Structure 1
Amino acid sequence: MASEVAYCTKLPTELWVRCWTRSTSQDLRSLVLVCRYFRAVCQPLLFQNLEIEAPAPEDVDRTN
């Protein structure tokens, strides 16, 4: 039985990164679920531009 090489690893990682750099967060979340290789490549891109929204200080209820 011959060892199979995944089609996605035949292209250089840099090429995949270049292709997905402009992808939306939703697209990257979907790509992360495709395979382990895509997860390793896409996950850093997904968290590279992570934005966390917090309420304004005046909107926080401080009575607790």
Structure 2
Amino acid sequence: MAKVQIAIRVDDELLSKIEEVEDDMQIDRSEAIRRLLDKGSKQYRLEKAIKQLRDKKNIYF
């Protein structure tokens, strides 16, 4: 899959959290951000699906 470059601004608190992941996993900043974004997007979709189930809406996976 092709990678696209993006630029973002984060506050000091979020940067500290990113740096914690870098240190814990021994990976560079770009990889840490990719993993966090991937995990966050999966969590978002899960929460959305749960909400839809609670609201009894039709959902398709």
Q: Do both share a fold (TM > 0.5)?
A: no
Please give the range of the TM-score, normalised by the shorter of the 2 chains: under 0.3
Q: Which has the higher contact order (CA 8 A, sep 6+)?
A: 1
Q: Could you tell me the TM-score, scaled by structure 1's length?
A: 0.26
Q: Could you tell me the TM-score, scaled by structure 2's length?
A: 0.27
